[in-house]
A and B are shown apart, each in its own frame.
Chain A
Amino acid sequence: MEITYIQAINQALHEEMHRDENVFVMGEDVGELGGAFKATEGLLAAFGEERVIDTPIAEALIVGAGVGAAVLGMRPVVEMQFADFISCAFDQIVNMAATLRYRHGGRASCPMVIRAPSGAGVHGALFHSQNPEAWFTRVPGLKVVAPATVYDAKGLLKAAVRDDDPVIYFEHKRLYRSLKDDIPEGDFVVPIGVAELRQEGEELSIITYGGALNQCLDAARIVAKEDGLSVEVLDLRTLLPLDREAVLKTARKTGKVLVVHEDRLTGGFGGEVAALIAEHAFEDLDAPVRRLAALDAHTAFSPPLEEYILPNTNKIVDAIRSLAAY
């Protein structure tokens, strides 16, 4: 049956809560409202108030309480109403959750998922558009995933719930209802830490993740048709831990790499990918690694500003062409 990206998330939550009674959800408006985006719709009716917990507006509490339950063996899936507000829980994530196993000498774990609706392109402006993944991808002890397809939305969330480490799950708001796919019913997981080749190609590789994947695929189709260019597209799916082999493999294969993400350029995750390639695949490169990302500005509200700041299909097409011509 064809379902949307947000329905895939909802299904994963339903199924995981059925499968394991230690799984519970917690966050602002997740109960009767079913979440600001309806990701948790129906959970309250199915599992009751004990396992579907509406909290006050208190992100540090939401994550911190998640840690407390997780360390005693529960599997909380906590929700940030928008990924932008994850900053309010920063300490609990990067200090409390991320170091928990380490400081207990490997004798404790924190099996928690933090769901974070992220991404721009919906006129969300400064505080409802953010892609804060790079604040977390440098924190050992955390795992960071960013599904770009309906299938992965479900499979990665299930994997995250079953994982024994804290996983931040960035779900892109623009994909919620725009992405639809016919995915297999029932149980499957997408392993954390494994990238996926979305399209094979010979002349150039795009490495991307999350909300930018479909723009990259569109751009690849355009240059295939108009320029006869054969572009490979690698979807990272998990940022931390990074699938280094997949990154290096595609870089070595085509010798030209364009890294694309919707987060900002400076300090963005693309820098890590580019550095990895420069360090380990330099000899195989035919051009410097190129990055395309949001400009180093906040995601402004006014349409011409927002458009100027964010990457889009046309900008990706231009970047492919200039890299191909190098």
Chain B
Amino acid sequence: MPEAQTKTEAGAVAHRVEYELQLYNWMKLIRAFEERVSRLHRQNKIFGGVYSGAGQEAICTGICAPLQPGDFVAPLHRDLGVFLVRGVEPGRLMAQLMGKETGLSRGKDSFLHGGDLERGVFGSTSMLGSSLPVAVGAALKFRMKRENHIAVAFFGEGASSRGDVHEAMNFAGVRKLPVLFVCENNRYAYSTPLEKQMAIEDVADRAAAYGFAGHTVSGNDLLAVFDLTERVTRRIRAGGGPELIECKTYRFHGHSEHDAALYRDKDELVQWESRDPIPLYEFYLEKRGHDIKRIREEADARTHEILQAAVEFAEQSPYPKPEEALEDLYASPPAAGRRQAR
């Protein structure tokens, strides 16, 4: 997002209009990327676990768009969109999913476990919730070095049941650290519905117990997420301490691409599909006076091009060499004589 403050009122309006279109393009790119990944997975070109974030694009977009370079973001396992909005090259992301040398982790790990710290994206492990203490540590560094950055940690409502989440929030509250906790509450943890996970409806309620503010917002309403995030991050950046944003949303796909999600009610899915964040935002743009048909076509064409290039780049990239399996383990690798023989 261009940082520059516009001088005139008209300039500001034009800037906002352009920015709102950029938000749209991001959501469209994320959705198209997600759908392409699912297709490639069906074609066996991407293997391993694939966790689609389709339906939750407004969250990655609305949370990340107001962030600044240098902020630290720890995404959850569905947040492909975080990588894209933070500016990770689509080709490298696709290569990551295919286990290629040019991927973020150079073939070491799958899907979203490879980070891109140059763009402030931290690679998580699979262990749900374990990135939250790490984000707190990043915030601690910002505090110690008087840096005006914030740390953002995404987690599912499912992950919120883990002790790590409690430990992180408690300490962030005690020290008033610059952390934004983002809960993507899509009502299911794999097959387990919300009511079997917690005795309350809103994860945001827990924030009060840690001494900071918790907010709920429709995670499918891009503008709502974006506006709230702008306000909240401004406060956090100004030293106001951590806050929690809980985004109410829904997973369009199964838990992973292997999961038919038969445990879910069809009506429920239909209801949520009718709250698809993309048409919802298109409606807004239309109300704003845009020619939505044209904008959609342009976005589709652009994303198609980006994805073609990304897939081509990834497919043409080589696999890592087998011996690289023993690289990247240490900053100072053991002396040659001590290395394992094979």
Known A-B contacts A56-B197, A301-B48, A304-B319; the reply to A127 vs B127 at CB < 8 A is yes
Q: Is A253 an interface residue when CB atoms closer than 8 A count as contact? A: no
Q: Is B171 an interface residue when CB atoms closer than 8 A count as contact? A: no
- Cβ B190 vs Cβ A123 within 8 A: no
Q: Is B53 an interface residue when CB atoms closer than 8 A count as contact? A: no
Q: Which of A81, A84, A302 has the most CB of B within 10 A?
A: A302
- Cβ A56 vs Cβ B198 within 8 A: yes
- Cβ A57 vs Cβ B191 within 8 A: no
- Cβ A302 vs Cβ B320 within 8 A: yes
Per the bound structure, the CA–CA distance linking A309 and B326 in Å amounts to 8
Partner of A125, one of B109, B127, B158, B325: B109
> Which residues 19-58 of B sit at the A interface, judged by CB distance below 8 A?
47-49
Q: Is B81 an interface residue when CB atoms closer than 8 A count as contact? A: no
Known A-B contacts A29-B192, A125-B113, A300-B107; the reply to A309 vs B125 at CB < 8 A is no
Per the bound structure, the CA–CA distance linking A301 and B105 in Å amounts to 10
Q: Is B283 an interface residue when CB atoms closer than 8 A count as contact? A: no
Query: Using an 8 Å CB-CB cutoff, how does the interface string of B173-211 with A read, 1 for contact, 0 for none?
Result: 000000000000000011110001110000000000000
Q: Is B99 an interface residue when CB atoms closer than 8 A count as contact? A: yes
**What is the minimal beta-carbon distance from A271 to any residue of chain B, in angstroms?**
13
- Cβ A305 vs Cβ B126 within 8 A: no
**What is the minimal beta-carbon distance from B258 to any residue of chain A, in angstroms?**
9
Q: Which residue of B lies closest to A56 (CB)?
A: B161
- Cβ B326 vs Cβ A297 within 8 A: yes
Chain A contacts for B161, CB-based, 8 A: 56-58, 61
Q: Is B2 an interface residue when CB atoms closer than 8 A count as contact? A: no
Per the bound structure, the CA–CA distance linking A297 and B325 in Å amounts to 7
- Cβ B198 vs Cβ A308 within 8 A: no
Known A-B contacts A29-B191, A127-B127; the reply to A304 vs B113 at CB < 8 A is no
Per the bound structure, the CA–CA distance linking A123 and B256 in Å amounts to 14
Interface residue count on the A side (C-beta < 8 Å): 41
Chain A contacts for B279, CB-based, 8 A: none
Q: Is A295 an interface residue when CB atoms closer than 8 A count as contact? A: yes
> Which residues 293-342 of B sit at the A interface, judged by CB distance below 8 A?
319-326, 329, 340, 342
Per the bound structure, the CA–CA distance linking A303 and B109 in Å amounts to 11
Per the bound structure, the CA–CA distance linking A81 and B126 in Å amounts to 12
Chain A contacts for B108, CB-based, 8 A: 126, 298, 300-302, 305
**What is the minimal beta-carbon distance from A295 to any residue of chain B, in angstroms?**
6
- Cβ B319 vs Cβ A302 within 8 A: yes
Query: Using an 8 Å CB-CB cutoff, how does the interface string of A144-169 with B read, 1 for contact, 0 for none?
Result: 00000000000000000000000000
Q: Which of A88, A265, A297, A300 has the most CB of B within 10 A?
A: A300
- Cβ B192 vs Cβ A301 within 8 A: no
**What secondary structure prevails in chain B residues at the interface with A?**
loop
- Cβ B319 vs Cβ A295 within 8 A: no
Q: Is A124 an interface residue when CB atoms closer than 8 A count as contact? A: yes
**What is the minimal beta-carbon distance from B314 to any residue of chain A, in angstroms?**
12
Q: Which residue of B lies closest to A32 (CB)?
A: B263
Chain A contacts for B130, CB-based, 8 A: 88
Known A-B contacts A123-B48, A304-B319; the reply to A295 vs B109 at CB < 8 A is no
Q: How many A-B residue pairs have CB under 8 A?
A: 123
Chain A contacts for B234, CB-based, 8 A: none
Q: Is A307 an interface residue when CB atoms closer than 8 A count as contact? A: yes
Q: Which residue of B lies closest to A36 (CB)?
A: B190
- Cβ B325 vs Cβ A128 within 8 A: no
> Which residues 12-37 of A sit at the B interface, judged by CB distance below 8 A?
28-29, 31-33, 36
**What is the minimal beta-carbon distance from A61 to any residue of chain B, in angstroms?**
8
- Cβ A33 vs Cβ B191 within 8 A: yes
Known A-B contacts A126-B113, A301-B110; the reply to A308 vs B163 at CB < 8 A is no
Q: Is A85 an interface residue when CB atoms closer than 8 A count as contact? A: yes
Known A-B contacts A29-B192, A123-B47; the reply to A300 vs B325 at CB < 8 A is yes
Per the bound structure, the CA–CA distance linking A57 and B164 in Å amounts to 11
Partner of A305, one of B159, B198, B325: B325
Q: Is B128 an interface residue when CB atoms closer than 8 A count as contact? A: yes
Partner of A87, one of B127, B189, B190: B127
Query: Using an 8 Å CB-CB cutoff, how does the interface string of A279-314 with B read, 1 for contact, 0 for none?
Result: 000000000000000011110111111111100000
Q: Is A60 an interface residue when CB atoms closer than 8 A count as contact? A: yes
Per the bound structure, the CA–CA distance linking A58 and B162 in Å amounts to 5
- Cβ A84 vs Cβ B197 within 8 A: no
Per the bound structure, the CA–CA distance linking A301 and B340 in Å amounts to 20
Query: Using an 8 Å CB-CB cutoff, how does the interface string of B73-88 with A read, 1 for contact, 0 for none?
Result: 0000000000000000
Q: Is A54 an interface residue when CB atoms closer than 8 A count as contact? A: yes
Per the bound structure, the CA–CA distance linking A124 and B321 in Å amounts to 19
Q: Is B100 an interface residue when CB atoms closer than 8 A count as contact? A: yes
Query: Using an 8 Å CB-CB cutoff, how does the interface string of A166-187 with B read, 1 for contact, 0 for none?
Result: 0000000000000000000000
Query: Using an 8 Å CB-CB cutoff, how does the interface string of A118-148 with B read, 1 for contact, 0 for none?
Result: 0000011111100000000000000000000
Known A-B contacts A57-B158, A57-B161; the reply to A305 vs B322 at CB < 8 A is yes
Q: Which residue of A lies closest to B96 (CB)?
A: A301
Per the bound structure, the CA–CA distance linking A32 and B263 in Å amounts to 7
- Cβ A127 vs Cβ B325 within 8 A: no
Chain B contacts for A297, CB-based, 8 A: 325-326, 329
Partner of B321, one of A126, A266, A304: A304
Per the bound structure, the CA–CA distance linking A274 and B50 in Å amounts to 40
Partner of B196, one of A54, A88, A305: A54
Q: 12 interchain pairs (CB within 8 A)?
A: A28-B189, A33-B263, A57-B189, A126-B108, A126-B109, A127-B127, A295-B326, A300-B107, A301-B105, A303-B319, A305-B324, A308-B325
- Beyond known contacts A123-B110, A127-B113: 9 more, CB 8 A cutoff: A57-B159, A125-B113, A295-B342, A296-B329, A296-B340, A298-B109, A301-B99, A301-B105, A305-B325
Interface residues of B (CB under 8 A from A): 47-49, 99-101, 105, 107-111, 113, 125-130, 158-159, 161-163, 189-192, 196-198, 263, 319-326, 329, 340, 342
Of all A-B residue pairs in the complex, the 4 with the closest CB atoms, nearest first, are A302-B107, A56-B161, A127-B126, A302-B99
